[in-house]
Structure formats: structure tokens, C-alpha cells
Amino acid sequence: MTTLYLDRRDAVIEAQDGTLLVRGADGTLARTPLAPVERVVLRGPASLTTGAIAAIAGQGAALLVLTGRQGRVAGIMAGGAHADAAIRLGQFRLALDPAAREAIARAVLRRKLLGQRRLLAEGLRRRPDRRRALLRGQEALAEALLRLRGPAALAPAQLMGIEGAAAAAYFEAYAALLPPSAGFAGRNRRPPRDPANALLSLAYTLAHFEAVAAAQRAGLDPAIGFLHALFPGRESLACDLVEPLRPLCERLAWRLLAEERLRAGHFTRDGEACLLGKAGRLAFYAAWEEAVAPARRLLRRGLRPLVRAARAACGALLAEDAGDA
């Protein structure tokens, strides 16, 4: 299955006989069969007809709409949503159980930190000249993992505190891997102010899209998370699911810049914002598709035990309800 990227200014996207028609402002016409498409990423300004939306939904494909020069998320339509409400009912019960919530949150955070530690270990092999900074980062991640393995209960705020301290140390080490042209002095966003952060923001956005779609396909509610608290307008479970994918995003940004597959000329400035230009985005989409297969496997692997736990929690709830009747 494939991802279709539609990144053409003022294009009009229509559907006809199982095919998406992309009409360019210059009169060009491109045709793409919908059958193999699992995801569609649309970056505007462009027009998507209702027929095209219906065709994408009918295909069970997910749709991500990005708008503005910075490519902000305007909306996500998750395709092929699971219809078993019992899974969501169990998910709600797990989210209300402090012990279950803590266990799931710990597991999510542990997977992320292990991935970041592996990335720094790879960085050390490639850049032994950066040994001191990379070892400091690995030590900070090891300390955070040790706290997560400890027997003491950890409140949500404590877990986020561990995550925040580890992230600060990690990104200090990560900066040592990047070339000076990346301009990276730490994580920033809304807007990203340097090439490295521009790539990280785009990668995280695409990973979040994958997480929302995967959660809905599995029957889970993307808004009910465990590490990330409920917040209006936020898909907290998707935020949880993205955490273990972040090292994959960070590795991609690092390698694209280190190998000069993306260079300074691929980026422009708009005030404080650093923007990835059209040619750069096309190169990034291709690289993302090459790198994303492990992320999708990680998502499936992370969702399976959560779905099993949600089904079990729902079964227990229904049994209690029957016993009270």
C-alpha cells in the first residue's frame, strides 16, 4: 500500500472511476489509481472535490490536510475506522484506572528513551569525535530509564518530568551530530527556526497522522491517552503513540542533513520561521517513505497489547454490570 502526496499549488483534485485526477493550474493532468492508496497527504492551497473526498473515504484511506506556508495540520480523516465500541469502552476504563494508566505511560516512555539511546549509540559509532556530548546524552537517558524501572509509583506529572529532563539532555547530544548548516541549538517549533527543526516538525506531523489513523483502525479513540492527559482538541493517544516513533523521525532528519541530501538551498525564511521549499519537501517525502516502514511496524506492535487490555477491561466492566443487575 502507498501514500499519495499532493503538493501542487492551486491544484484541483477530482475522482473518476477509481482514479484521482489532479489538475494543475497550468492545465496539466495527472492520474493516480486509488486502489493501492492507503494514505493521502494534501498540502495546499489546493481544492479537493466532495467526490474525491468520498472516493478516498470509500477506499478506506486516511487523509491529512496541511495548510499555510508552515504546513500546519488543518484536519485528519482516518480511513477504515474500527466499529467495535467495546474496545473504546475498555480504553476509557483503563484511562480512569491510575495503575493501568501509569503502566501504559511507563511503557510508552521507555520505548521512546530506548530508541533515542540507540540513536545516540549509532551517532557515537559514526561520530567518535563527538564522544563526550554523546556519552553525556546516553548517561542521562540511562538514568531516566532506571527511574522508570523503579518500584515507586510515578504520578503523571512525575512521568512528564522524567521525559522533559531526558529530552533536554538528549537534544543537547543530538545537536552534536548535526552539521553547522542545520543551525540547531535545541528543539523549537511553531514556528521551527532552523532547518533541523523544520525537518523534525514535518516528520513528527507525518508520524502523528500515522498514529491517528492506526489508532482509529484498531478501534481506539485517538483522544484518550495515558502519558498525555486529556486536552481539548488534542489527540492524546496519538501523542502517546508518536513518542516511540520520535527517534525514527530524529534519525531521518539527522541523516538527510549529514549526508547533504537536504542543504541550505532547500530552505527559505519567513520572519522567524524556517520553511522547507517545494523541492526539499519532495525529497523529504521520498525519504520518509523509505524510512517509515519500521515506524508502522512499531505502531502495530504498540497497539496490539493496548487493544487486548482494552478488550479485557471492557469484559470486566460488563461482567461487573451483569453482576449488579
Rg over alpha carbons for the chain, rounded to the nearest Å, is 21
Cα(306)–Cα(301) distance, integer angstroms = 9
| SS3 call for 6 | strand
Distance (Å) of CA 102 to CA 47, 160, 202, 212: 44, 11, 29, 21
pLDDT in tens, the chain (325 residues): 589 998 888 889 999 888 999 988 887 888 989 889 999 999 978 888 999 999 999 888 999 999 887 788 888 888 776 778 999 999 999 999 999 999 999 999 999 999 999 999 999 999 999 999 999 999 999 999 999 998 888 999 999 999 999 999 999 999 999 999 888 988 988 899 999 999 999 999 999 999 999 999 999 999 999 999 999 989 999 999 999 999 999 999 999 999 999 998 999 998 889 999 999 999 999 999 999 988 898 898 889 999 999 999 998 887 876 666 5
Cα(106)–Cα(145) distance, integer angstroms = 10
The yes or no reply on domain 2-77 and CATH 1.10.10.410 is no
Do residues 266 and 280 touch, judged by C-beta distance below 8 A? yes
- What the block records as the C-alpha cell of 104 is 501504559
> What is the CATH code of the structural domain delimited by 85-316?
1.20.120.920
Strands (E), the chain: 2-6, 11-16, 19-23, 29-33, 37-43, 46-48, 62-67, 72-77, 267-270, 273-276
Do residues 170 and 118 touch, judged by C-beta distance below 8 A? no
Cα(210)–Cα(238) distance, integer angstroms = 9
The pTM of the whole model exceeds 0.75 = yes
DSSP label at 230? P
pLDDT of residue 322: 64
> Phi, psi (5° rounding) for residue 271?
65, -125
Domain ranges of the chain: 2-77, 85-316
The verdict on whether omega for the bond into residue 45 sits within 30 degrees of 0, i.e. cis, is yes
- What the block records as the C-alpha cell of 80 is 477504515
DSSP label at 133? H
pLDDT of residue 198: 96
> pLDDT, tens digit, for every residue of 159-211?
999 999 999 999 999 999 999 988 898 898 889 999 999 999 999 999 999 99
Look at strands 2-6 and 37-43 and give their pairing. Answer: parallel
Residue 243 assigned ligand-binding role: yes
The verdict on whether omega for the bond into residue 98 sits within 30 degrees of 0, i.e. cis, is no
- How many helices (H) and strands (E) are present in the chain, helices listed first? 10, 10
- What the block records as the C-alpha cell of 300 is 502495530
Cα(116)–Cα(100) distance, integer angstroms = 25
- The b-or-e profile of 279-288 (16+ CB within 10 A means b, else e) is ebbebbbebb
- Cross-strand partners of 13: 22, 48
- What the block records as the C-alpha cell of 139 is 548517561
pLDDT of residue 308: 94
What sign for the dihedral angle of Cα 205, 208, 214, 215?
negative
pLDDT of residue 138: 97
Residue 82 assigned ligand-binding role: no
pLDDT of residue 321: 65
Cα(252)–Cα(234) distance, integer angstroms = 25
Helical ranges in 218-292 per DSSP H: 236-242, 246-258, 278-291
